Amino acid sequence: MSTRHLLLVAIASGLGCATGRAAPPPATAPAVPAANSQATSAAPKQDSTPPTPPGAGALSAPNADPFPSTYRPVPSGPVAIRNATIITATGPRINAGTIVLRDGKIIAVGANVAVPPDATVVDGTGKFVTPGIIDTHSHLGVYAAPSVDALADGNEMSNPSTPQVWAEHSVWPQDPQFPRALSAGVTTIQVLPGSGNLIGGRSVVLKVVPSRTVQGMKFPTAKYGLKMACGENPKRVYAQRGLMTRMGNVAGYRAQWINAEAYRRRWDKWLAGDKKGEPPSRDLGMETLAEVLRGNIFVHNHCYRADEMAQMIDIAKEFGYTIKSFHHGVEAYKVADLLAANNISASVWSDWGGFKMEAMDGIRGNLPLLHNAGVRTIVHSDDANGMQRLNQDAAKGISEGLVAGIRVSEDDAIKWITLNPAWAIGLDDKIGSLAVGKNADVVLWDKNPFSIYARAEKVWVDGAMLFDRLDPSQQWRTDFELGYVPTRIWP
Amino acid sequence: MRNYNSRAWGLNNRAWGLGRGVAVLLSLMAFTNVVDAQTIAITGGRVHPVSGPVIENGTVLIRAGKIVSVGTNITIPADARRIDATGKWVTPGIVNVATTLGVVEIGAVEETNDTPARGRGDAITASHKVWEGFNPNSPLIQVTRNDGITTVGVVPGGGLVGGQAAMVDLSDGDLGDMMLLAPIAMTADIGSKGEHVGGTRAEVLQRLRDLLADTREYMRRRADYERNATRELAARRGDLEAMIPVIQGRLPLVIDANRASEIETALHLATEFSLKIVISGGAEAWMVADRLASAKVPVIVGALNNIPLSFATLGARQENAALTHRGGASVIINGGSDGFNARNVRFEAGVAVAFGLPWNEALRAVTLSPAEAFGVADKIGSLQAGREANVVIWSGDPFEPMTRAERVLVRGVEVQRPSRQDELMQRYKALPPNYRK
């Protein structure tokens, strides 16, 4: 009866799911022949080079940040949430705890925290507080709703490798999926190009906030990601025009990295020199891949099958880059030891699978088995509805773990949707847990978030309350929704 | 409406099924105790009969696959096998009314995908009995029933009139054994435009009207039709035949409609042709709940979707089930229509509760309400004497992800066994795996 929807889902799952995020990297001159091939989570370097004045563009040199973030936190006063169960993602929960937000940061959290006299006090009695939810895999904005051809901007399927495209250039900030994500407690997302290509392009890390421009949503200092995809999708998309097989896929990746390494050497040499004379010619795609080889862009690799993950790990070693996360990974549990040994996180669903051959071994035990093997385990969505229930998916993972004799506490499982995805996008020093000094991305839930009945009641981003379920005037509506989507009549 | 129960089903089918059934039994003796005529007493649980108020410390007495009695003061026969459900919740088996379980194994693998029908390419395949492609050996059946889903609707998809749906119990055996009722409904989609269906909503509607009118014409002038003495009718003979119970108001026409105006169009069509209809999709049902209520038309909705994914679903919201119920309409909750996640309908019900649907109504929406809408309430959907013993014992609230379906009975037989997914989990619990296990 809803087969149409199923087909849409099938198409979306086939082509929409991708792992290439594009977070604006710091405004560093990428040209430094840096500690190449190590994707580190170190804090981004500060830009010490003054920007090139307009009109002086004699040098068409790579610019690390040509579309800089213009995001500024919404101004807010201090807030104290009192007497709540605080699930911190750093350790045991705090019962009857208090958390204080000021100037966009968490300044205190604990059982015995004084409420500043100037703070707006929110009563958390009977309620729960968690960090804002983080999704490593989303196509919000690039596959916007409504899902019409005119808004299908997620897959540049004009060539099997399109490292030159950046997801942010497809993001529609008026996508009505954004406010729905925020209303479910999701505060940071990685938006990826689709998975139709071997190399799909750059991803971008966005804050889920209202803005006229994508620049106004970009997470300041976040690094970019590169979306790569294994298996059936590229094989299917290019069956009639290039690739036909998985071995063709692998040959395709390797050819790109060979070119990229030569390009990196050429530019690094020029940049390390006196910079006189004609610079090497620029290639946008190679620029992105060279940045991956320098460790300045993270690889996010859509890959379902265990054996293909092992091959992608070998390719990464061959060319000296690291994979930050395997996405979808329905068979990740089969190589959990390999992922742990290589420090690769797994972004997976709780139980979505079965819709194509490479997804048929999906099991609900994926999350607990990965967790138990020491893998940084992440629940991701690839879906605007699923994104709103990552907490429920985590609960399913806890429940299934018990069947296998694996006991995962809620205080650990919360990391699957907060701290671990923060690590995968290189922002675990700023978001993902409730610790003093971190960004005040905070969700107040009306019930235990691992219950099916829980709803995000209030959501703060950098200390500003941007969603309040109890107050329709505090609910963001996109331009698109005006006049089209019936006004809320229910809190 | 013909009732294809196991007795009416073809003999050949049945004989084949029995042979395989014995093999299954022999291989699974360790997990189950399958004795059809057994008397079972489930005692001490918090019993939700759905047809009546909750019974604390209740007993459900089962004999020969049927429920004999439900209550607190029940004499338990000495030979009854007792199942202690103290501290547990006991409910009717959950129904997922719209799935492709058994007819689609892997959506993207064409040879395992038996819906939608192709027909003549005119999008009318009313004669398509989707259950005739049903695979009772699908491993997804075990996955589904392990989670407390005991009955599913198997529905065709696609086209203007996609074909006929069936309701099957997830019991052991062949399709004949599993079948509850077929057909339960004819499916139609007035929201889909496109090649072969229609270029505009009005054209789609007119094509459906033509089909309904020509079905009447065919019934009136069947002799002329046989002599080739009628004008060309709107569908093939088999499709016209299949539409007869629909035009007679005996077989529900499930109309996929999402936009409020599409739902109203469906209601008008039902009045025009005196049809019995059910709305599925129903993204904007909450906007026309009063009209659905006064027309006594049930609506099949999900609860996990608030994305305006098309211009026909701009009003999609998680409160849909609650608001539609509040408006007086009968709400059926579905979700997870693919076989892989047909099990997740219980979470759909839970989210409907989170967004305002009373808990008892949510349980009804995945048990008795679908049974009533499709003519099987005398068999399933509630814990009452005479009903099939489709019973689930839960570790707690069945809508909570942390809750496990601890025991699942279909027609009085415990059907929980390791699924393919369970076997994979056991195999890879320790690495490297043992491929001989």
CA dist., res. B176 & res. B164, Å (int): 17
Answer yes or no: are the C-beta atoms of A212 and A18 closer than 8 Å.
Answer: no
Q: Could you state, in order of their start, the residue ranges of all structural domains in chain B?
A: 31-93+381-437, 94-379
Kindly report the number of other CB atoms within 10 A of residue B111's CB atom: 7
Of A3, A232, A337, the CB nearest to B115: A3
Chain-chain contact of A490 with B319 (C-beta, under 8 angstroms):
yes
What residues of chain B lie within 8 A of the CB of A450, using their CB? 401-402
Chain-chain contact of A355 with B306 (C-beta, under 8 angstroms):
no
pLDDT at residue A488 in the model: 60
Chain-chain contact of B311 with A396 (C-beta, under 8 angstroms):
no
Which comes out higher in pLDDT, residue A59 or B173? Answer: B173
Does residue B193 carry a pLDDT above 90?
Answer: no
Here the tokens at position B419 are 């699924």
Closest CA to A168 of A135, A198, A205, A208: A205
Chain-chain contact of A453 with B350 (C-beta, under 8 angstroms):
yes
Does residue B36 carry a pLDDT above 70?
Answer: no
pLDDT at residue B170 in the model: 98
pLDDT at residue A17 in the model: 47
Chain-chain contact of A485 with B300 (C-beta, under 8 angstroms):
no
Q: Which CATH class is domain B94-379?
A: alpha beta
pLDDT at residue B311 in the model: 94
Residue B100 forms contact with A (CB below 8 Å): yes
Determine the average pLDDT of the residues in B118-128. Answer: 91
Here the tokens at position A422 are 């923060």
Running along chain A, 491 residues long, what does each successive block of 10 average in pLDDT? 35 38 36 38 44 47 87 98 98 98 98 97 98 98 97 95 98 98 98 97 98 98 97 92 92 98 96 90 96 97 98 98 98 98 98 96 98 98 97 98 96 98 98 98 98 98 97 93 78 43
Interface of B with A in 371-400 (CB under 8 A): 399-400
Q: What is the pTM of this model?
A: 0.90
Chain-chain contact of A2 with B256 (C-beta, under 8 angstroms):
yes
Backbone φ and ψ of A47, nearest 5°: -80, 120
For the stretch A280-309, pLDDT in tens is 999 999 999 999 999 999 999 999 999 999
Domain pair B31-93+381-437 / B94-379, same fold: no
Interface of B with A in 129-168 (CB under 8 A): 140, 155-158, 162, 165
Chain-chain contact of B158 with A398 (C-beta, under 8 angstroms):
no
Kindly report the number of other CB atoms within 10 A of residue A386's CB atom: 20
What is each CA distance from B400 to A170, A449, A457, B359, B419, in whole angstroms? 38, 11, 19, 12, 21
What is each CA distance from A255 to A248, A249, A252, A289, in whole angstroms? 11, 10, 5, 12
CA dist., res. B269 & res. B212, Å (int): 10
Of B191, B315, B429, the CB nearest to A369: B429
pLDDT at residue B437 in the model: 79
Question: How would DSSP label each residue in A369-397?
Answer: HHHHTT--EEE--SSTTGGGGHHHHHHHH
For the stretch B160-171, pLDDT in tens is 999 999 999 999
Residue B424 forms contact with A (CB below 8 Å): yes
CA dist., res. A349 & res. A137, Å (int): 10
CATH fold for the domain made of B31-93+381-437: Urease, subunit C; domain 1 (2.30.40)
For the stretch B214-237, pLDDT in tens is 999 999 999 999 999 999 999 999
Residue B210 pLDDT grade (very low, low, confident, very high; cuts 50, 70, 90): very high
Backbone φ and ψ of A98, nearest 5°: -130, 140
Question: How would DSSP label each residue in A435-486?
Answer: -TTSB--EEEESS-TTSTT--EEEEEETTEEEEETT-GGGS---GGGTTTSP
CA dist., res. A322 & res. A223, Å (int): 14
Task: Give the residue on B whose Cα is nearest the Cα of A490.
Answer: B319
Domains contained in chain A, CATH given:
65-70+132-428 (3.20.20.140)
Chain-chain contact of A148 with B116 (C-beta, under 8 angstroms):
no
Determine the average pLDDT of the residues in B394-416. Answer: 98
User: B41 pairs with which residues across the strands?
Assistant: B61, B82
